[in-house]
Amino acid sequence: MSWKKMIPLFVLVLVAVVAAGCAAPAPTGQSAAQPAAAEATAPAGVQKLIWSVEGVNELPGLDPANPQNAQSIQAINLIFGGLVKLDDQLNVVPDGAEKWEVSEDGKTYTFTIREGLKFADGAPVTANDFAASINRALQPETASYGASFQLGHIVGANDVAAGNAKEASGIVVVDDRTLAITLDDNVPYFLAQLTYPVSFAVPLQAVEKDPTGWTEKAFGTGPFQVKEWQHNQKLILEPNPNYWAGAPSIAEVELPFFQDSETAYQLYRTGGLDIMGSQQNPVPAAHVAEVKDSPDFKTVASFATRYIGFNNKLAPFDNPQVRRAFALAVDKATLADKVLSGAVTPTDRIVPAGFPGSQLPVKGLAFDAAAAKQELAAAGYGADNPFPQVTFTYGAEGDNERVATFLQQQWKENLGVDVVLQPLELATFSKNLDTTYLTPEAGLQFYLSIWGADYPDAQNFVSQQLRSDSPNNNGHFENADFDKLAMEADTFIGSAEDRLKLYNEAEQIAVDQVGWLPLYSPSFNVLIRPEVSGVVATGQGLVFPDWSQVTSRAAQ
């Protein structure tokens, strides 16, 4: 997911159980003047969970059909639910559907809706609610970035996305509890895609009654519903009394917004938060040494890649030799070890370590200043044709400024190129990414971004990011051989191993041609108070496998 297509993030899965422990002591010399703890709104003595949302001072929305960024998905996954979800082994398991069957040709999925499934307001949820919600996500007036691509293999989905139909012919309501979805090809990752919010059930009566304001009191089939949205401050959730998996033990979840993760970190240290840190905005690297020995500190390898994107439609980055020069000029080991204090893992590839497909090797563009100069010269730049001044854009958050400053120095020292840094507030950065995709001639030249897995399949990193027809391909990378391999892998019906080999060949092309300039995979560093149990840290974020067993501290 970028900010609309960055990350996001973001389906939550389990891989490691979080251990309990003691609260971390405040660092020596910390000022007593810290941000005040969030005011409790739950009754005193009732369990409440305060979980920070870093990187934004407001959520762009709560509509599952158009989640827009990882921060919104954090909340959406607490409020809404789909047909299926992921378990602690990254397997697709039942959610709103209690079971499903797949036809012999692998193209038709027939779901049986869970008996007694209800929205939070008590209204029954039927197969028609899921069908109508998916069709709504595909309709152009919904303006969903991801739905048309992620659900594009459903027969008739493209007709709906083009405005030529209101319903996809491949989505058939057999009866109240039976939904059949037919695809135009074999799609090995289709069930995994259904764990992403665009296919979640929404209460259409509420949407129709108040199309622009229904999310102010958003509810679905998830464990919580919106109690109060204090815009530009926080989102407060209360339990869904009709949640199919049982009533949550937490009476209130508060999601305060923090533009800067540093502020959230300091508030955690003074007792104002129960959980701090996300994939995109983990515990700041500068503070990891302070807390790494605390029982509160949890770290796992993140299924995410921090990278540099280039606008392939604008000179000078329309030239692959220029992109290669910029890639070869970056010492990623120094960036990871010195600038980011060893809190990240440098990488020369797109698919992160530990992710399906990462076991197959890719030859990266390792740091080589001499080779970088040669590539720039081969592109036609030198004393007689100086390289133009270019602008590097990034979201002003967390460690991004330190990273951007280091990159600026690298390109000056190793290429003799002057790079202007352009920090933007994250919402503005997101809009500029959209502009780069929609009207590239008016877009960014090159930029610092991140992608975190939506679901555990290499398609999510390879095809969905860099296929020429993907709406996530912000930089307009285009290569016919890459597209051919990626498209073949997307609908490959042979062995899983052979399918991953196709993605691996495509990834090698993207690395060679610098579709992305991968920098590092961040560690998912998070702080969780010892009073909080039942939460799991994973490479894709946090998950609560059974909300009826979650505990937290009592509201004061």
For residue 64, give the amino acid letter.
P
Q: Say yes or no: 511 and 543 in one domain.
A: no
Q: Say yes or no: 20 and 148 in one domain.
A: no
478 lies in some domain: yes
End-to-end Cα separation, the chain, in angstroms: 37
Q: Classify residue 215 by its DSSP letter.
A: G
Q: Say yes or no: 391 and 312 in one domain.
A: yes
Q: For residue 96, how many C-alpha atoms fall within 13 Å in the half-sphere facing its CB?
A: 29
Q: Say yes or no: 278 and 417 in one domain.
A: no
363 lies in some domain: yes
414 lies in some domain: yes
Q: Determine the Cα–Cα distance for residues 440 and 6; give it in Å rounded to an integer.
A: 17
- Cα R_g (the chain), whole angstroms: 23
Q: Say yes or no: 423 and 314 in one domain.
A: yes
Helix (H) or strand (E) holding 74: helix 70-79
Q: Say yes or no: 544 and 516 in one domain.
A: no
* Dihedral over alpha carbons 182, 186, 191, 194 (to 10 degrees): -60
Q: Determine the Cα–Cα distance for residues 279 and 305; give it in Å rounded to an integer.
A: 10
72 lies in some domain: no
CA angle 132, 138, 141 (to 5 degrees): 100
Q: Say yes or no: 321 and 408 in one domain.
A: yes
Q: Say yes or no: 313 and 389 in one domain.
A: yes
Q: Going along 302-453, which residue ranges are E strands?
A: 304-310, 344-346, 390-395, 419-424, 446-452
CATH assignment at residue 249 = 3.40.190.10
Tens-digit pLDDT profile for residues 194-209: 999 999 999 999 999 9
Q: Say yes or no: 249 and 105 in one domain.
A: no
68 lies in some domain: no
141-171 burial code (b ≥16 CB/10 A, e <16): ebebbbbbbbbbbbbbbbbbbeeebebbebb
Residues recorded for the chain: 556
Which of 238, 211, 241, 212 shows the shortest CA–CA distance to 225?
238
Q: Say yes or no: 120 and 248 in one domain.
A: no
Q: Classify residue 156 by its DSSP letter.
A: T
Query: Who contacts 463 (Cβ-Cβ below 8 Å, separation ≥6)?
Result: 470, 486, 487, 489, 490, 503, 506
Whole domain around residue 390: which residue ranges?
304-523
The Cβ of residue 10 has, within 10 Å, a number of other Cβ atoms equal to 30
Q: What is the pLDDT of residue 31?
A: 32
Residue 40 backbone dihedrals phi, psi, to 5 degrees = -70, 135
- Number of separate domains in the chain: 3
Q: Say yes or no: 254 and 397 in one domain.
A: no
Tens-digit pLDDT profile for residues 336-392: 999 998 889 999 999 999 899 999 999 999 999 999 999 999 999 999 999 999 999
pTM of the model: 0.80
- Give the pLDDT means over successive 10-residue stretches in the chain (556 positions): 37 33 34 38 79 93 92 95 85 94 95 98 98 97 86 96 96 98 94 94 96 96 98 98 95 95 95 91 88 93 94 98 98 96 93 93 97 98 95 92 97 98 92 95 97 90 96 96 97 93 98 98 92 88 88 80
Q: Say yes or no: 492 and 549 in one domain.
A: no
503 lies in some domain: yes
Residue 392 backbone dihedrals phi, psi, to 5 degrees = -105, 120
Q: What is the pLDDT of residue 505?
A: 98
Whether the CB-CB separation of 336 and 345 falls below 8 Å is answered with yes
Helix (H) or strand (E) holding 70: helix 70-79
Q: What is the pLDDT of residue 45?
A: 65
Helix (H) or strand (E) holding 111: strand 108-113
214 lies in some domain: no
CATH assignment at residue 200 = 3.90.76.10
Q: Determine the Cα–Cα distance for residues 214 and 471; give it in Å rounded to an integer.
A: 27
Q: What is the pLDDT of residue 1?
A: 40
Q: Which residues sit opposite 411 in a β-bridge?
A: none
1 lies in some domain: no
Domain finish residue from 209, 233, 267: 209
